[in-house]
Each structure stands twice: as C-alpha cells, then as structure tokens.
Amino acid sequence: MPLRELVAGLVLMTIGVFISSWSFITYESLPQETGGNTFFKETRIQYLERRGYTYLLDQSFLLKNPLNNTVAELVYVQIPVNASNQFVKLIKTSVTPLYKKVDNDGVEMLVFNVSLPARGTIWINTTLQVTVEAYSLLMENIPWLNISQVEENTCGKKYWAVENETYIALAKEIGLNARDPISASLAVGKWIVDNLIYTLMWRRGAEQALVIENGSLKVFGDCEEVADVFVTLTRILGIRSRVAHGIYLLEGDKEVTTMWIKITNGNPEWSENWGGHAWPQIYVPQVGWVDVELLEEEGVVKIGNFSQYHVKYGFEEKSFLGSTISYCRSMFLEINELYFTFRRIESWGL
C-alpha cells in the first residue's frame, strides 16, 4: 500500500529509561575466490542522482493557559535538523527565543520564555528555509565492520529489542548469509514489507510489534513499528542503524501545502494530508547516514533512494529515552493547534 494511504498519525512523546544488553552476530570479512585466485572486491559508492529542493516553512503553535493564575515557563519548539542531507536556516520568529538547544541525537529546539495570564493564549510562529536533498546512491561491496567499530552503536534501546531471542533467531534466518551490510539491510527490509500488517497506532516498539498470525511472524503497526523492527534486526546483524523522525509531504508536488493538528480536551484531530512519519537510516562509513524507506511504494525497499518529500526533525540513536516528535512542548500550557505550511521555492541538480 502506498505511503499516501499509510499516513502515520500523531506520535506520543514517551519518557522512560530502559537499560538493556546488546547482542549482534559477528561476520568475518572473507575474500572471494575465482579460478584459484583470491581477491577482495572493490568497494564502489556513487551518487547516480542528487537534487536539492528548498522550502519556506512556516510553523505556528497556539498555546493556552488553562489555569486561573498567570503561568510563566519555558516552551520548547522543535525545528527541522541541519544534518543528514538537509540544510536549515532560521528566518524569523514571532517571539524572541532565549536560546537553541541541541540534544545528544542532534534534535534541535528553540527555547522560549512565555508568560500567560489566566486563560490567556499566544501564537508562537517560526519561519525557516529548509533544503532537502533527493538522491539515488549506488553502493556495492561495502565491507562488514569489525566488533570494535560497531559494538557501541548496535546496543538495545527502549524500542529496540536486540536481546530478544525471537529477534536474534529471526535476524539469523534473514541476514546471516548476506554478503555485505547493504544486502543484509535489503533482506531485512524485504522481510518486513512482505510480512507487514499496517495499522495506525501509538508507538509501542519492536518487542510488541511482532505478532503470530496463521503460524507465521508478522509486523503489526505503522511507520514507527516498521522503523523499530528494522533497526532491531539490523543492529543484531552488526549494522549501525537509527530512526529518523519527520514529516512526509503527502502533497509535495503542490507549490504550497498546509497540514495541521488540533487538540481539544486532549483529543487530537489532524488534517487529511497530515504526514507525521518515521523511517530507518543505516550508517555507511564511506558516505555517512543513508536513508531507508519501506512505505513509499508498495512492496519496495529503498536504500539510498530518497525522495524530496521527507523533512527530518530528529533522530533516535544514542538516548535510551523515546524521542518521537512533539513539535512543541510545555509543562503547564496547553498546545491546542499546530500548523505547518511548506512553500516550494526552488529546486536544482547537484
């Protein structure tokens, strides 16, 4: 089913610490043999296509003080990241931020000091220039990394059950005989799309995403579970991977597209074109983080074949805490409305 029909709804910010052990399968780098001659195949990496797309992004958040007294507190507004084939420039804000905060995973937030009287409201507006890169990448004969290069970056997290025996057995079945990390990642992705029962839901992680149906293992969930299962399996195989969180422009071919979320009494409602999304990335030392998309086209696994419709807001790799997007966070003030308007202003070949 195409991604346009697989809109991943609003995701929860989950707080919790989960310290787990790590486990992955070790590969040896074996030479190829032909006609009595032993040789190593040469690694080949080449961009087949690169194209930049620049959007003017307006973010607007309506905050309300629900209390009968004045509230003064810090408000955190998440902005697209300036990393991983994406370039971001802050143009203006309606309220002057105190500072910009960047966490260990590179998530960027503007921090505002907001004071509101009883039942008062305020709009916080930000305008940014966001350039995303669409690319097609050829990767051949990528070598396996040794234990010392991957052990620190392939451990389990709150949503990645790398110590789970079912996942370990499944990873061996899918990717143990893969000739290189790209082939293994492709095999993992293919297994996921072939065994996916797509269901919109709140994020619950890889451990609860595997279900048994008619005697076979299936992946149950939406884009978050797909990404979590992929990262869990590839980490077990010794491949450094993480989850990217962001927005997918379902109407990206339009010059202007607006999407929104409205929250009333804690109940969210979102526009039909809402594109909250998550997808995996794998790390290839020769080129950096490479995007993986499993939901854009039905049954198609895209590794290093990335469209301009993805806007990255953050990554989840190092922290044990859940780091799904909240866009705007406040302890006592309510966030009642969120608007995102993307205006495409130019595109060019790279």
Identify the weakest region by mean pLDDT among 34-48, 69-83, 197-211, 284-298. 34-48
Residue 59 and residue 325 in contact, taking contact as beta carbons nearer than 8 Å: no
The CATH number given to whatever domain includes residue 243 is: 3.10.620.30
Question: Which residue type does 51 have?
Answer: R
Residue 55 and residue 132 in contact, taking contact as beta carbons nearer than 8 Å: yes
Residue 42: both structure tokens together: 């040469």
Question: Can you tell me the distance from the alpha carbon of 206 to that of 228, in angstroms, rounded to the nearest whole number?
Answer: 5
In a domain, 119, yes or no: no
Beta-strand pair 71-79/108-116: antiparallel
In a domain, 349, yes or no: no
Residue 130: both structure tokens together: 């966001």
pLDDT at 8 over 90: no
Got the DSSP string for 190-205? HHHHHTEEE-------
How many domains are contained in the chain?
1
Which ranges constitute the DSSP H helices of the chain? 147-150, 165-175, 181-194, 223-236
Question: Can you tell me the distance from the alpha carbon of 275 to that of 10, in angstroms, rounded to the nearest whole number?
Answer: 9
Question: Can you tell me the distance from the alpha carbon of 131 to that of 151, in angstroms, rounded to the nearest whole number?
Answer: 33
Average pLDDT (15-28) is 36
In a domain, 223, yes or no: yes
With CA atoms as reference, report the closest residue to 158 among 237, 211, 232.
Answer: 232
State pLDDT tens for residues 219-241. 999 999 999 999 999 999 999 99
Task: Please report which confidence band the pLDDT of residue 5 belongs to, taking 50, 70 and 90 as the band edges.
Answer: very low
Question: Which residue type does 148 have?
Answer: S
In a domain, 59, yes or no: no
In a domain, 35, yes or no: no
Residue 111 and residue 79 in contact, taking contact as beta carbons nearer than 8 Å: no
Residue 336: both structure tokens together: 């009642």
State pLDDT tens for residues 55-78. 999 999 999 999 999 999 999 999
Q: Which residue has the tokens 């130019």?
A: 346
In angstroms, how far is CA 6 from the centroid of its own chain?
A: 15
How much is the pLDDT for 19?
Answer: 27
Buried b (16+ CB within 10 A) or exposed e, 40-72: eeeeeeeeeeeebbbbbbbbbbbbbbeeeeebe
Task: Please report which confidence band the pLDDT of residue 320 belongs to, taking 50, 70 and 90 as the band edges.
Answer: low
How much is the pLDDT for 18?
Answer: 27
How much is the pLDDT for 92?
Answer: 98
Vertex 236 angle, CA 234 and 238, to 5°: 75
In angstroms, how far is CA 7 from the centroid of its own chain?
A: 14
State pLDDT tens for residues 246-274. 999 999 899 999 999 999 888 999 999 99
Q: Which residues contact 265 (CB under 8 A, 6 or more apart)?
A: none
Q: Which residue has the tokens 């995996």?
A: 280
Give the domain extent around 11.
Answer: 3-25+139-318
pLDDT at 20 over 70: no
Got the DSSP string for 25-55? -----PPEEETTEEEPPPPEEEEEEEEEEEE
How much is the pLDDT for 218?
Answer: 96
pTM: 0.87
In a domain, 229, yes or no: yes
In a domain, 103, yes or no: no
